[in-house]
Amino acid sequence: MRISLLLFLPLFLFAMQGAVSVQVQPKSRYFVSEKIVLQLDVKSTGFSVGDVRVDSSGLKDLIIVAPQSAAYVQSEEIDGESWQVAVYEYELYPLRGGEIFLAPLEVSFTGSMGYGQPKSAFTKSTEPFTLQVDSPDGIDGFVLSTPKLTLDVTYKPDPTSLKIGDAFERTVTIIATDVPDLLLPSVAIEQQKSLRLYDDEPRLSMEQGRAKRVEHQTIIASQEGNVTLPEQRLYWYDSVNGILHAEIIEAVEFEVSGGSVTAKSEEQGSSKTFWLLLGVLLLIAGSVTTLLYIIRYEKRSIIHLPRSINPRE
């Protein structure tokens, strides 16, 4: 029995270990919607770390962008023991100001002593902590934090003078850096009595750290009179320089007069069709009346026809 215990003792002494830890990129202040880098370290006393799975469902009030793979792998010595550490960088974007609680992350992974060696499975949880998130001075609620933002508006054709039924298109393009495309706000025009609005699905994309949102609306004039597309403002905050910016979409005024040529043509066409059908119906009714009259007259003539004279009588 002692011999068996002695044989297994090295296995207990050299059993593989695993651990996890998190930390955030240090900054003096964190702002709403600003990118915060959360570093997750997955550790093993083996020669490799793999099969990493992270449950981040407990994180609330944040948009989370998970990495495709480890940012890098490094070796560390902890209490005289060598550890392999796989470093994962998560991007967090707070959706509100105030204190945000970061719940523990449950991390599953494996460690191995080398290629072809059996794997040891681990499930570990990180320590919870809180983040203090600020909003720019003078702003309540959400505002986009980004180092750079551009906004472009185009109209096709230019809506200077319209007739009822005329249409034009408005396209708004927003481009910002260091934010996910999901955070770019909508600037679509709201419904109005004098206009019919048809919105396309916004087109979102990410390319080389730049988020892009394209909104397209088709606008149709539906009532006569003076119409105004109201001024719109999109606020964004440059947290690096501490400047609050406002991108302005200027108001657009135009006059809507009576129906368009197309609408009038359709109306005239409908009127012509109506009178043509009415004429055909009257013609048919007149023909039927005349035919009935002729038939009735012929019958009456036959009834009152005198006898033929028979020379033999």
Cβ-based neighbours of 74, under 8 Å, separated by 6 or more: 85, 87
Strand partners, 203: 214
What are the residue ranges spanned by the domains of the chain? Answer: 17-134, 144-261
**pLDDT of the residue at 246:** 94
Q: Which two tokens stand for residue 62?
A: 């944040």
* Nearest C-alpha neighbor of 237 from the set 148, 133, 175, 172: 148
By DSSP bridging, strand 81-94 and strand 106-112 are unpaired
Q: What's the rounded Cα separation, in Å, for the pair 88 and 77?
A: 19
**Whole-angstrom distance between the N-terminal and C-terminal Cα of the chain?**
159
**pLDDT of the residue at 239:** 85
Q: Which two tokens stand for residue 146?
A: 């980004």
What share of the chain has pLDDT > 70, as a percent? 82
Work out the average pLDDT over 217-226. 92
Cβ-based neighbours of 260, under 8 Å, separated by 6 or more: 163, 164, 165, 166
Measured between alpha carbons, how far is residue 69 from residues 126, 189, 205, 242 in Å?
A: 19, 40, 21, 33
Give the position of tokens 């919607």. Answer: 33
Average pLDDT value over all residues in the chain: 84
The tens digit of pLDDT for each residue in 50-64 reads: 999 999 998 999 999
Work out the average pLDDT over 73-85. 91
> Does domain 17-134 sit in CATH 1.10.3470?
no
**pLDDT of the residue at 296:** 63
- pTM value surpassing 0.75: no
**pLDDT of the residue at 308:** 37
pLDDT greater than 70 at residue 199: yes
Q: Do domains 17-134 and 144-261 have the same CATH topology?
A: yes
The tens digit of pLDDT for each residue in 113-152 reads: 877 789 999 999 999 999 999 988 878 778 999 999 999 9
Please name the fold of domain 144-261.
Immunoglobulin-like (2.60.40)
pLDDT greater than 90 at residue 204: yes
The tens digit of pLDDT for each residue in 249-306 reads: 999 999 999 864 444 444 455 556 666 777 777 778 777 676 666 666 555 544 443 4
